[in-house]
Structure 1
């Protein structure tokens, strides 16, 4: 019986420790969603999520939300993802957060046209794309538009 660990067992321990440290420091995957025709939909174009508000109240409090959005965001959060909204519209971030909270969805960040244009200026981009996810450390953007 050996009292001292062998080189191989020390290597295994070092690798395990490195993996644990890396896992602890690993950033969450950041996923953003567009609003128009992606999260929000026209009533007759797609099924919508149920809300605790009556349908007539949505004229003042927000657009209908595409069915499946609530379960998708819950699953993404369960897997450790950070959920963002990235829209080229001028909707205020507070409006977007409130609208999604009506459906029980919390987002970690909102990028609207004002924040987007500021980021493009900071990055020195003159030929402006409609969305620029890398400026906000967004790993995946879901959108119905090619722009």
Structure 2
């Protein structure tokens, strides 16, 4: 089962209003200024340990290389990454009608984690599952793990 995460305001947060993972050391903190929400390293590793594929699905135009390089510094390896460029090429393509900025079902993603109301609404409209994570919440990792396991049971027919 595949789970995807948005980056901005989900995995990348401001230390001004949320707890974060330790900052990378100089000079890496200059190359990678984003700060990871506290619990990200544990959560991604735990999901993969439980047999989930973990993806990034972001509408940002950060490159695959940049995203992989940043997370590698924290010991995280994503199974795949969909950024704004890839979504535009593979999902939107040459379609005249504009599709939402994220379509997890196109990639057979079972659960997407996001902070935006528009993505939640698109999930209802286009039939994909979204868990909203945005506010500071010390139990956010538990919520993601519980929802992932709940959806796995549904998909396995248990």
Shared fold per TM-score greater than 0.5: yes
Query: Which residue of structure 2 lines up, in the alignment, with residue 102 of structure 1?
Result: 73
Q: Aligned ranges for residues 55-134 of structure 1 at < 5 Å? A: 57-122=28-93, 124=95, 126-134=97-105
Which 4+ runs in 1 deviate beyond 6 A?
none
> For the aligned residues, what is the CA RMSD?
1.8
Question: Shift of residue 124 of structure 1?
Answer: 3.9
TM-score w.r.t. the length of structure 2 is 0.69
2:21 is matched with which residue: 49, 74, 77? 49
Superimposed CA distance per residue, residues 20-77 of structure 1 (whole angstroms, 9 cap, x where no aligned partner): xxxxxxxxx10000000000001211111125x3266423224110000111111111
Distance 1:123 1:143, change over 3 A: farther
TM-score w.r.t. the length of structure 1 is 0.73
Tell me, in whole angstroms, the C-alpha distance in 2 between the residues paired with 1:78 and 1:37.
Answer: 25
Tell me, in whole angstroms, the C-alpha distance in 1 between the residues paired with 2:110 and 2:96.
Answer: 20
Question: Shift of residue 89 of structure 1?
Answer: 0.5
Unaligned runs of 5+ in 2: 120-158
Matched, 1:136 2:84: no
Tell me, in whole angstroms, the C-alpha distance in 2 between the residues paired with 1:136 and 1:98.
Answer: 23
Is the radius of gyration larger for structure 1 or structure 2? 1
Unaligned runs of 5+ in 1: 1-28
Matched, 1:37 2:9: yes
Q: Aligned pair count?
A: 118
Query: Which residue of structure 1 lines up, in the alignment, with residue 116 of structure 2?
Result: 145
